[in-house]
């Protein structure tokens, strides 16, 4: 090959690789909780970022105003209707009250990741465990999933075609985590954990793999970190470095405080005058746009945070089993008994609103593992829809009681979760189930 | 390199290294696993302090993990159907992957290191602990093997543009 041909080939190969590999979509790397990055952005880039954000906000405001004008035409005079109780009830409390069925754009959620792996245990069974992902930088931040165990007796039989000996922890904020499985039966060896041995076994199946030190798993936003296998059981000989983190203390259940101004688990988890809540009411609830002078106190509600706090309250709050996400319903004396449903992600501090501010909206409950949740919305003349979304991605899994000819013919009420992927609900007089 | 510096470096090079590993393995999942293992390796005490060029180091260690691993066997463990997974876009019909699949694994890793990550032959030699001559001749043999396909692709590309 002459020099010129070689140079041409090299250039061509470089072009092909950059063109093809360089455009393979991958999600960017992100680490958990790095607020300082914003301050490190170059000033010119920051100006462009701010300009871009301002443009997006302007478009959102224009759309919201257009929707407001359209929807206020449909909005009726409020009537006296009983408010749902502080605990999420499957039954609908709405009476004959027309309300517009505004579809609300869900903001882009903060992308969480997941951790998955398999178990191996030196016996013909696997004990029941709780698998924890514990942040390497802050042990108070952790996620968990229960594994019921496998084998005799009396443990579940895996589904045909599966080993059953796998776990997946979803909704994990980007970052690095120790992955530790603590037994529920109090026996030894305990705990199991992800160690250097897991990598060694994968690369050198016949061993030896003497290094059993725990190693962290890195979670990337929006991606599933796989291969985090729990093969090592019991603390390694001597004092391991780094040490295996202790079993996290279960979080107290978050409930609505007695004054209904916060959600609390001993400490305030979410306050009613949280900036994101206040901002949503000011810009998205339609209470503070064209109607700001409709009642004497409306202007102060919209402009004064103390008044807002005084007139707004949590109707209900429901935590996920791990306590890291809280579903809520918020109402306001300014326009009662309308309400808005939303969820709060403790790991990111993000408040996400799921509905508009109208009568009948309410957060209902999370699925048994917390992977999905159901809420009620889109009510019209006491006929409501039910919506099921993924807790992490907020992707809609199912929509029950679809509109027919622009309206709902019957009311849908939630009955129970059959599993994480199936609910039972009542549509008019009929009891139904849906799998998703 | 402290944690903040390391994070900053990862932000800059993560996608590039992952794409390079996709080029070598032909599989997004395998590449992600390999890179994950490389990141875990970098976590070991004292390792990050010795890394001079993080993208090259992560690529080389990721390749080693992929190469040594029994990935196919591991993949036979069926995952739970109920778990949430976000499938990435398919990699079918990516010409570069077809091209690279015609090379041996070793040729593939050096070609990707040279022409995608932009490592010099000296840097390749240092990372892979081989001589510069070996690095050069391996890449040359790879070029020779790809010559026909590259020339055909160039002709097709040119005619399309005309």
The answer to whether the predicted template modeling score (pTM) of the entire model surpasses 0.95 is no
Beta bridge partners of A434: A423
Q: Which tens digits make up the pLDDT trace of B122-135?
A: 889 888 888 889 99
Is any Cβ of chain A less than 8 angstroms from the Cβ of B26?
no
Res A6: pLDDT: 80
Which residues from chain B sit within 8 angstroms of residue A14, using beta carbons?
A: 115-116
Res A47: pLDDT: 54
Is any Cβ of chain A less than 8 angstroms from the Cβ of B140?
yes
Is any Cβ of chain A less than 8 angstroms from the Cβ of B155?
no
Sheet holding A166-172, edge to edge: A166-172, A113-118, A224-225
Of the pLDDT bands very low, low, confident and very high (cuts 50, 70, 90), residue B59 is very high
Q: Which tens digits make up the pLDDT trace of B64-99?
A: 888 776 544 444 444 444 444 444 445 545 778 888
Q: Which of B18, B96, B151 sits opposite A20 (nearest CB)?
A: B96
**Structure token pair of residue A39:** 């301050």
Tokens 């691993």 belong to residue: B69
CB A346 within 8 A of CB A269: yes
Res A290: pLDDT: 63
Least Cα distance to A392 among A318, A284, A320, A317 occurs for A320
Q: Say yes or no for a CB contact (<8 Å) between A17 and B33.
A: no
Q: Say yes or no for a CB contact (<8 Å) between A34 and B7.
A: yes
A299: number of Cβ within 10 Å: 14
Res A228: pLDDT: 93
Res A9: pLDDT: 83
Chain B, nearest residue to A7 by Cα: B143
Mean pLDDT for chain B? 78
Residues lower than pLDDT 70 in chain A: 26-53, 67-111, 152-164, 236-241, 290-295, 404-407
Q: Average pLDDT in the B50-69 region?
A: 86
Res A292: pLDDT: 64
Give CA A226 to chain center in angstroms. Answer: 20
Measure Cα distances from A217 to A17, A198, B33, B41 in Å: 30, 12, 11, 11
CA distance A317 to A342: 10
Tokens 């001993």 belong to residue: A266
Is any Cβ of chain A less than 8 angstroms from the Cβ of B93?
no
Indicate left, alpha or beta for A167 from its phi (over 0: left) and psi (-120 to 50: alpha): beta
A202-229: buried (b, 16+ CB within 10 Å) or exposed (e) per residue?
bbeeeeebeebbbbbbbbbbbbbbbbbb
SS3 A292: coil
Give CA A412 to chain center in angstroms. Answer: 24
Q: Say yes or no for a CB contact (<8 Å) between B14 and A28.
A: yes
Q: Say yes or no for a CB contact (<8 Å) between B77 and A227.
A: no
CA distance A221 to A111: 5
Which residues from chain A sit within 8 angstroms of residue B150, using beta carbons?
A: 9, 12-13, 16
CA distance A192 to B13: 33
CA distance B102 to B97: 9
User: Any idea how long chain B is?
Assistant: 162
A409-420: buried (b, 16+ CB within 10 Å) or exposed (e) per residue?
eebbbbeebeeb
Q: Which tens digits make up the pLDDT trace of A288-311?
A: 876 566 667 788 888 899 999 999
Distance from CA of B161 to the nearest CA of A (A): 15
DSSP 8-state assignment for residue A197: H
Distance from CA of A406 to the nearest CA of B (A): 33
């Amino acid at each position: 090959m002459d020099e010129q041909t070689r140079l041409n080939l090299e250039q061509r190969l470089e072009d092909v690789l950059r063109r093809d590999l360089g455009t393979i979509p991958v999600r960017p790397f992100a680490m958990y909780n790095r607020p300082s990055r914003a301050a490190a952005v170059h000033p010119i880039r920051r100006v462009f970022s701010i300009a871009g954000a301002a443009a997006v906000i302007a478009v959102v405001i224009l759309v919201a105003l257009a929707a407001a004008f359209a929807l206020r035409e449909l909005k009726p005079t409020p009537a006296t209707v009983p408010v749902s109780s502080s605990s999420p009830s499957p039954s609908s409390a709405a009476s004959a009250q027309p309300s517009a069925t505004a579809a609300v754009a869900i903001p882009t959620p903060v992308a969480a990741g997941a951790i998955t792996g398999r178990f191996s245990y030196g016996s013909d069974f696997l004990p029941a465990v709780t698998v924890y992902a514990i942040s390497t930088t802050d042990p108070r931040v952790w996620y968990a999933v229960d594994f019921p165990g496998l084998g005799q007796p009396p443990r579940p039989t895996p589904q045909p075609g599966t080993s059953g000996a796998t776990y997946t922890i979803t909704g994990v904020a980007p970052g690095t985590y120790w992955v530790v499985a603590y037994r529920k039966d109090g026996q030894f060896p305990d705990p199991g954990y992800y160690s250097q041995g897991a990598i060694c076994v994968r690369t050198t199946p016949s061993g030896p793999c003497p290094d059993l030190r725990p190693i962290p798993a890195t979670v990337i936003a929006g991606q599933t970190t796989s291969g985090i296998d729990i093969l090592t059981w019991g603390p390694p000989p001597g004092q391991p470095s780094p040490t295996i983190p202790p079993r996290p203390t279960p979080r107290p259940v978050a409930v609505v405080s007695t004054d209904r101004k916060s959600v609390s688990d001993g400490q305030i988890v979410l306050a009613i005058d949280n900036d994101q809540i206040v901002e949503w009411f000011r810009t998205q609830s339609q209470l503070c746009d064209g109607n700001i002078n409709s009642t004497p106190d409306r202007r102060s509600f919209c402009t004064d945070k103390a008044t807002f706090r005084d007139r707004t309250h949590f109707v209900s709050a429901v935590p996920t089993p791990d306590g890291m996400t809280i579903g809520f319903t918020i109402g306001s004396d300014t326009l009662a008994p309308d309400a808005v449903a939303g969820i709060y992600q403790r790991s990111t501090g993000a408040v996400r609103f799921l509905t508009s501010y109208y009568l009948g909206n309410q957060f209902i409950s999370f699925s048994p593992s917390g992977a999905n949740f159901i809420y009620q919305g889109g009510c019209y003349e006491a006929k409501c829809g039910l919506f099921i979304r993924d807790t992490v991605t907020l992707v809609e899994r199912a929509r029950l009681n679809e509109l027919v000819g622009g309206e709902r013919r019957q009311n849908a009420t939630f009955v129970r979760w059959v599993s994480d992927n199936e609910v039972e609900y009542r549509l008019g007089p009929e009891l139904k189930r849906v799998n998703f | 390199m402290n944690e903040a510096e390391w994070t900053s470096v990862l932000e800059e090079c993560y996608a590039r290294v992952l794409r390079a590993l996709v080029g070598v393995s032909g599989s997004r999942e395998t590449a992600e696993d390999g890179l994950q293992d490389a990141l875990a390796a970098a976590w070991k005490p004292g390792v990050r302090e010795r890394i001079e060029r993080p993208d090259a180091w992560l690529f080389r260690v990721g390749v080693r993990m992929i190469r040594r691993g029994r990935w196919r066997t591991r993949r036979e463990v069926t995952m739970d159907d109920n778990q949430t997974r976000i499938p990435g876009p398919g990699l079918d019909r990516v010409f570069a992957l077809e091209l690279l699949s015609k090379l041996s694994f070793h040729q593939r890793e050096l070609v990707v290191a040279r022409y995608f990550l932009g490592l010099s032959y000296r840097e390749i030699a240092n990372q892979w602990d081989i001589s510069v001559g070996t690095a050069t001749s391996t890449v040359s043999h790879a070029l020779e093997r790809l010559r026909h396909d590259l020339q055909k692709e160039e002709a097709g590309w040119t005619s399309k543009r005309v």
